[in-house]
Amino acid sequence: MAEKRNRLHHRRDRSKKIFFAIMVALPLLQFAVMYVGVNANSFIMAFQHYENAASGKGFDITFAGIDNFQEAWTLLSEKSYMLEISLTGFLVTMFISYPLALIFSFYIYKKYPFSGFFKTVLFLPQIISSLIFSTLFKYMVGTVYTELTGAAMGFLSDPDTTFGTVLFFNVWVSFGINVLMFSNAMGNIDESVVESAQLDGVNIIQEFFHITIPSAWPTVVSCTIITVAGIFTNQMYLYDLFGDGGKFEIASIGYFLYQKASIADMVKTPTEPSMGILSALGLIFTFILVPTSMLLKKLLTKLGPSVD
Amino acid sequence: MKKSKNKLNKVVVIALFVILVVYAISMLFPLLWGFLTSLKSSLDFDTLRNVLGFPDMEYSNDTFFKLSNYTSMFKDINLSRSVSFFAGNEEIIHNSENTVWTMLFNSLFYALGGSLVSAFVTMCMAYLCAKYKVKAAKWIYGMVIVTMTIPTVGSYPSTITLLRSLNLYDSWLGYFFQKFHFGGMYFLLFYAFYETLSDAYCEAAEIDGASQLRIMFSVIIPLSMTIFSTVTLIVFVQLWNDYQTPLLYMPTKPTLAFGIHYFTNKTVSGGFAERGEPGKIALCMLLAIPVLILFIALKDKIMGNITIGGIKG
């Protein structure tokens, strides 16, 4: 009897394993090709030179040594402002967008007047394409502004205000998913903790800093890690605002990499870097980011606030 | 003491309320302005500079009552796309002619198909990793966490060349293959759900002799429908609005968002371009209206209890 049960159990185990293997096969193939394959190919391409084949069909590929890295480094030195712009975008997210999102989330979590309406409005940029918001925004700070004030040009056309306006747009449309995450995380705060703090005479600001923020801290850390991981891929909505004809004096690295990849050829041209050079550039940034984001995660987890 | 505390609380709440009202106006005014402008004629808006007022019926009768900016885009827009590339030594050329109907169909196929495949694959993988006691399940979970925390930058060129060499570039097959991706936040969301789901459901079905496939389709998926529909909806909206991925990997299969990016950023003359700025804005509204309706109808589901805590590992 026991043997029969064992055999049945064994057969069920085997069928489970077979089912598991069949179900994960295609997603794992996708992972192997689109993650492992793509990253391995990035690495290989960074060490390759492409030339148009003499036959006119395909390319002649040769080993490039560190040429692509040297060219990528030169490009980066010439356009070092891109690094500054990407870092400024990151700092604005961390020190303006996130604090504002936390404050707005607190308002929603406490269910103050019209909190449901504000939650919906704050979420709108998540629903409506950034392409539409950027198009409408361009009219608002351009045509509408000049019509109202009689100014000669709009905020995005004036070189003195272009970057500030781009940063403003980044903050303006940034709240959607963050407010949702933060307010949901705040919703899990134990009401009895809040009530006893209020009995102790804690005011709204103290409650925010000593109870709400520490409770939502794991979510803040996760969002920060995602933001750090995206420093060099964040286009800062520049492609939405300027398209291909971008204002390269305010290009972020994410914008530059996307815009160049959309027009780059395998072979380097006098004006555009090759895909090999772009791959080398990507690798340089990846090597900077991996240790940075890991270190930051450890630091934030260790040094973060706790509920008093 | 208590009085001053209450006063402070009141001041803070009022200040926040005012800030949020200003924000709400700044968010809703452009949308309203956009909708009104889309009903104006080019003569009214571009030539006579009626930028802020209501449509002037003397010049905008047709665009206001007959919605001619909207109707003409279906007749007058034709977006020609062409791309040539090498897959090995073979040169491949793709051409396409696209009306707004084609782009709408592409958008629907792209967003609906992509969101269903993506959410389904993610749900299955999370279920398998959470409920199957096999070593590979732990490895896959570990892989998801590692890929989430290790950023990779600038993989576009590599993705393009790889897709080209596999003959998956600029093709729906290539697109759906990419949608078999299962990592990210939604995987963790499903995983957390299955981790807390009692094993009793599956064990009871197993005792009744149900196969693994039957258990998944008859027990697990019905139990997961709430999360599944929420994730599908959110991904649908993201894909509906996405124009950069098709622009890069499917250049001759433009979606509506892709087409709008093209028409709002390139200098185009003749045909629909005669409609001027109101025409461009009408195109934007065409993209926004379906998702706005979807959002209004399913607001609670879309803004449901999606949350992430700390990422372990």
**Does the residue A30 lie in any domain?**
no
SS3 at position A109? helix
Extract the residue ranges of chain A whose pLDDT is less than 70.
Answer: 1, 246-248, 304-308
Evaluate if residue B18 carries a pLDDT over 70: yes
Domain of A280, in residue numbers: 81-303
Residues A33-63 pLDDT 10s: 999 999 999 999 999 888 887 777 777 888 8
**pTM higher than 0.90:** no
Q: Given an 8 Å threshold on Cβ–Cβ distance, is A112 in contact with B13? A: yes
* pLDDT at residue B312 in the model: 45
Does pLDDT of B223 surpass 80?
Answer: yes
Going by the DSSP 8-state scheme, the letter that residue B268 receives in this structure is -
Residue B306 CA to residue B309 CA, distance in Å, equals: 10
Within-domain flag for A25? no
Of the candidates A120, A297, A308, A300, the residue with the CA atom closest to the CA atom of residue A212: A308
B182 → closest Cβ in A27, A107, A239 = A27
Q: Compare all CA atoms of chain B with the CA of A46 and give the residue at the minimum distance.
A: B158
- Residues of chain B with pLDDT > 90, as a percent, come to 57
A277, exposed or middle or buried, with CB in 10 Å at 0-12, 13-18, 19+? Answer: buried
The pLDDT value recorded for residue B313 is 41
How confident is the model at residue A1, as a pLDDT? 65
Nearest-CB residue to B88 (from A15, A35, A58): A58
Alpha helices in A158-200 (DSSP H): 162-172, 175-186, 191-199
Q: Is B47 on the interface with A (CB under 8 A)?
A: no
Locate the chain B residue with the closest alpha carbon to A147: B51
**Chain A residues with beta carbon closer than 8 angstroms to that of B303:** 119-120, 123, 180
pLDDT attached to residue B162: 92
Rg (chain A; Cα; Å): 26
* B148-174 tens-digit pLDDT: 777 677 788 889 999 999 999 999 999
| pLDDT score at A61 | 84
CB B24 within 8 A of CB B257: no
Neighbouring C-beta atoms of residue B4, cutoff 10 Å: 9
Residue B267 has pLDDT above 80, yes or no: no
Q: Which tokens go with A38?
A: 């793509």
Which residues of chain A have a CB within 8 Å of the CB of B180? Answer: 26-27, 29-30
Instruction: Give per-residue pLDDT as tens, B109-131.
Output: 999 999 999 999 999 999 999 99
Q: What residue in A sits closest to B308 (Cα-Cα)?
A: A219
Residue to test with chain A: of B33, B42, B92, B153, most A Cβ within 10 A? B153
Residue A50 lies in a domain: no
B chain contacts of residue A222, beta-carbon cutoff 8 Å:
308-311
Q: What is the reported pLDDT for B61?
A: 84
DSSP β-bridge partners for residue B81: B96
Give the mean model confidence (pLDDT) for residues B248-269. Answer: 88
| A182 belongs to a structural domain | yes
How confident is the model at residue A308, as a pLDDT? 55
DSSP state of B109: I
Q: What is the pLDDT of residue A243?
A: 86
Q: Is B287 on the interface with A (CB under 8 A)?
A: yes
CATH number of this structure's domain B98-266: 1.10.3720.10
Angle of the A253-263 helix axis to the A275-303 helix axis, nearest 10 = 150
Considering its fold, how many domains does chain A have in total?
1
Across the interface, whether the CB atoms of A285 and B154 are under 8 A apart is answered: yes
Q: Is B203 exposed, middle or buried (0-12, 13-18, 19+ CB in 10 A)?
A: exposed
pLDDT confidence of residue B64: 85
- Does B88 score more than 90 pLDDT? no
3-class DSSP assignment, residue B252? coil
Q: Is residue A44 part of a domain?
A: no
| The pLDDT value given to residue A306 | 61
**Domain map (residue ranges) of chain B:** 2-76, 98-266
- Amino acid A33: pLDDT: 95
CA A251 – CA A239 distance, rounded (Å)? 9
- Say whether pLDDT at B12 is over 90: yes
> How many CB pairs below 8 Å do chains A and B form together?
286
Selected for mutation to probe chain A from B163, B303, B305, B311 (highest A CB count within 10 Å) is B303
What mean pLDDT comes out for the span B50-72? 88
Beta strands in A38-135 (DSSP E): 48-52, 59-63
Residue A209 lies in a domain: yes
A120 neighbourhood in chain B, CB within 8 Å:
299, 303
Q: Residue A171: what pLDDT?
A: 96
For the record, the structure tokens of B31 come out as 């949308």
- Identify the pLDDT of residue A307: 55
CATH number at residue A181: 1.10.3720.10
Q: Report the pLDDT value the prediction gives residue A148, as an integer from 0 to 100.
A: 92
Which pLDDT does position A140 carry in this prediction? 95
Residues β-bridged to residue B221: none
**Torsion A186-A191-A192-A197 (CA) sign:** positive
Burial track B138-173 (b if 16+ CB lie within 10 A, e otherwise): eebbebbeebbbebbbbbbbbbbbbbbeeebbbbee
pLDDT above 50 for B256: yes
Whether residue A73 is contained in a domain is answered as no
